[in-house]
Every structure is written in structure tokens, then in C-alpha cells.
Structure 1
Amino acid sequence: MKLVTRAALGWPPSAADHASPSRGLAIHYDGSDQGLARKPHSACLAYWRKTRAFHMGPSRGWSDLGYSWGACPHGYILEGRGLGRYQAAQGTTAGNRDWYSVTLMSGPNEDPTPEQIDAVRQLRAWLMSKGLGAAVRGHRDFFGTSCPGDRLYRLVKTGTFSRSPKEADDDVSAKDVWTYEIPVPFGTKENPEWQAKSLLLNSNERIRNLERQVGELTALVRELVERKS
């Protein structure tokens, strides 16, 4: 897990009250699109610092950043309140006391990056090694809110975040299938293996050529038969 600690961010230990979250991990998002996937990682650090300043500012007045952790689009986990602290994220006493929180640094119209999803999975596995329960919930499961947005909540419900990093390594996407390289007898020394999509396109071209040749031969045979008759 690529962890950015509070110390690395220049922050002291969290002033939030102590707690022992044990139930599981709650998923959050930002209320607006951030576009951080298109920016360097330094923008994620700036976003995290800005979020803490906002949460501790006059509009909220919290003792610290509201979340336990943040997951950025580049695959880093940024420490918020960290281990063994009350949250200010889930909206209920039990939710803040019994569940850790992680916010994906994205908004309602942004899909999480594969690196971001993997970072959440690694965080969950690490927390489970410290005794956290396996459950994963969305913010809206605790409180009447749109958070974590329909896109992330769909991933919560389908178990995407609940898969272990090892299970995730076994995931095979459609792109993986089409780009998988296969040794072919007609390959060259420089290119002995072809991607599945290239094989399909090549086979389709060969079949079309054969169909054309068969059509031409059929027409020729028909013409010869008609001449003899």
C-alpha cells in the first residue's frame, strides 16, 4: 500500500477522540468533480490539505479532517484521522465510532481509476489485518445522503471494493482477453505472437477472401456448365 502519512503531510497526531472501529469500511466521495486523475499527484496532496482546512474551519469547526483515509486516483492512500479515532463522516454516532471511512477523491460524474479501487482494497486488507471487520458500506447506508454517488455505490453493492488484492489480481477484463498474445505458426521471427484481436481480424479477412474466391469459382463453373449445355 502506497501510504502518505500525517507526518509526511506535516500534520501532528489527530486531535479526534479515540475509538476502536471494528465493523468495516465506509465509502465516500466529494460532492463535486475534482479532475485529479488528469493532474499530477501533487494536486491530490493539495486537495487533501484543503479538505482538512475546510473541515477544521469556521463552517464545520471539527477537530480534524472528517475521514480516516483518502484514496487518490494515482493509487495512494492519504492518512486522515488514521487508526483508532472517531470519524466525523458517517453521520451517526455508531457509524462514526464503529466504522473507518475512506473517501475517493472524485465527484459524482467521475469513475474511480483502477489504481484508486486497488488502493481501497489494499487499505481494507491492511485494516482487516488489524482486526477490522470485512463489511463495506456506502455513506448513504448510514445517513440520508447521495454520497458516495451512484457510481461508487454501485461498486459497493457489487462487491468491487470487497475483493481482496489477491482476488483482484485474478480479474480478467475484456481488454485483457483481446490483447492477450498467442504464438502463431505463421508469425515472423520479429513477431512470433499475435494479439487475440489481431488474430480475429486476420481470420475474418482470410474468410472473406475465401468467400470471394469460392464465389468466383462457382461463377466460373456455372459458366462452363452453361457453355457445354
Structure 2
Amino acid sequence: MRTFKRTALAATLLASTLASHSAMAEWSANIGVVSDYHFRGIQQTESASTSAGIDYAGSTGFYAGAWTAEVEDGLEVDLYAGYGVELESGITLDANFTTYQYTGDFDSAYNEIGLGAGFGLFSVGYVQGKWDGVVGNEDATEGDYSLITLGLESGGWSATIGSYGQDAEGEYGEIAYGTEIGGFDVGVGLVISGSDLDDSESLYFSISKSFEL
């Protein structure tokens, strides 16, 4: 079965903001750099990658945004929108759509629907997506993929395990720590990928800055 080399950090951002909208609509922007760009257990660059994005968070729970990052050939461009709600019980629910596009021949497009839920320290996510296929041979290689993730977050620490399904296969784990220093968000993480993915361990560092618009 094919392992999908899909990219993007946007869905991770969506999962971390389950229903976290303010009382008023807000626009924000972000810039960042990561020493080694991974997503969902798959290495995307072998060197540093810079990124930038813009987000809208509505007062009703609707959100949307765009995010772009350097990859090995051109840029990855992500567009996403969703809706999140927090119930009186403290349970958070989220549904979103994300499309991943590329300016070069690094990869072809991915389009996916994501569902998520969280309570306290714990979260669970499900993604159902479609890949356009290998660049230059799209019709013969396009396919569907799914991903189930389980997450734990507390005091700046986070841990995630994920498992692919359908036309993709593989598992990964990631543990990370993030904090704020001098107005910047800084982080360090370790990604461990199974044999069906990169079959490797990678330590990465990141720094980013967010701005209210």
C-alpha cells in the first residue's frame, strides 16, 4: 500500500485550537521557522523551513485561514476553514476542511475533511482525505487516505500518536515542549516514525511570532 507523503502544518494548528474562539471576531498573522519540517511523522525538508500565515476567528466559532511554507521544491500553500464549539460539559468539538496546494513539483494536491474532539488534557482526531497522485502520473496513482490521532497536552508538553489507513499505512509518535520567551513562541520536539513512513527519529527546534491585526 502507498504511503502518502502529504504535507502541512495547518491541520495541526486546527487541532490545537478546538473551539478556542474569543468573544469578538479577530484577525491574526504568524511567521516562523523550524529546523526540520515534519508533519504527521513524515519529513518534508532536510533543512530549515520558514513559514507565514493569516487567520480569522469569528465570534460564533467559525474560523478560516491560509498558511504557506518552504518545501524542497517551491512552496506549500494551505487553505482551511472550520467550526468549533465548546459544550457546557467542557467537551470541545471541531469540524474542518483543508486543501494543500504546491507551487512546484514537490507534491500534488491533498484535500481533506477533519473531525476532532477534546476533553481536559486529551484529544482525538480523524481525517479523511484524497490525494491527487504522484506528480506526472496523477491518474494512475491518486487515492484515498485516513488518519486517526490521539493527543495529550499539559503545561507546555504535548504528545501525539497517529495511524494511517485506507491507501496509506504507517504509524508515528511525537512529543514536544513549547513556551514563550521574549514574546516569541519557541519549541523543541522529537518525531519517531514507523517503518512504513520514514523509519527514523528526528529532533527539531522551532520559533514563531503571532500578531493581532
Larger Rg: 1
Q: TM-score, structure 2 length as denominator?
A: 0.26
Greater strand share, structure number: 2
What is the TM-score when the length of structure 1 is the normalising length? Answer: 0.24
Give the helix-richer structure, 1 or 2: 1
